[in-house]
Amino acid sequence: MTTLTLQNLTKEYEPGITAVTNLNLTIHDGE
Protein backbone atom coordinates (compact mmCIF):
# COMPACT_ATOMS: atom_id res chain seq x y z
CA MET A 1 0.00 0.00 0.00
CA THR A 2 2.82 2.39 0.84
CA THR A 3 4.38 1.61 -2.52
CA LEU A 4 1.26 2.75 -4.35
CA THR A 5 1.09 6.00 -2.38
CA LEU A 6 4.73 6.79 -3.15
CA GLN A 7 4.25 5.89 -6.80
CA ASN A 8 1.28 8.26 -7.01
CA LEU A 9 3.40 11.07 -5.57
CA THR A 10 6.14 10.32 -8.06
CA LYS A 11 3.65 10.68 -10.92
CA GLU A 12 2.68 14.16 -9.72
CA TYR A 13 6.29 15.20 -9.20
CA GLU A 14 9.02 15.34 -11.83
CA PRO A 15 10.70 12.12 -13.08
CA GLY A 16 13.92 13.23 -11.38
CA ILE A 17 12.32 12.64 -7.99
CA THR A 18 11.53 9.06 -9.01
CA ALA A 19 14.99 8.04 -7.86
CA VAL A 20 14.38 9.55 -4.42
CA THR A 21 11.07 7.72 -4.15
CA ASN A 22 12.79 4.45 -4.97
CA LEU A 23 15.22 5.04 -2.12
CA ASN A 24 12.34 5.78 0.25
CA LEU A 25 10.73 2.50 -0.71
CA THR A 26 13.94 0.64 0.08
CA ILE A 27 14.08 2.20 3.55
CA HIS A 28 10.48 1.18 4.22
CA ASP A 29 11.32 -2.36 3.15
CA GLY A 30 14.19 -2.46 5.62
CA GLU A 31 11.90 -1.57 8.49
Q: pLDDT tens digit string along 1-31?
A: 455 556 555 555 565 555 555 555 655 555 5
Distance CA 31, CA 11 (A): 24
Q: Which pLDDT value is given to residue 20?
A: 56
Q: Which pLDDT value is given to residue 16?
A: 56
Distance CA 9, CA 30 (A): 21
Dihedral sign from CA coordinates of 18, 16, 9, 29: positive
Q: Would you give the DSSP letter of residue 1?
A: -
Contact 25, 10 (CB under 8 A): no
Domain residue limits, the chain: 1-30
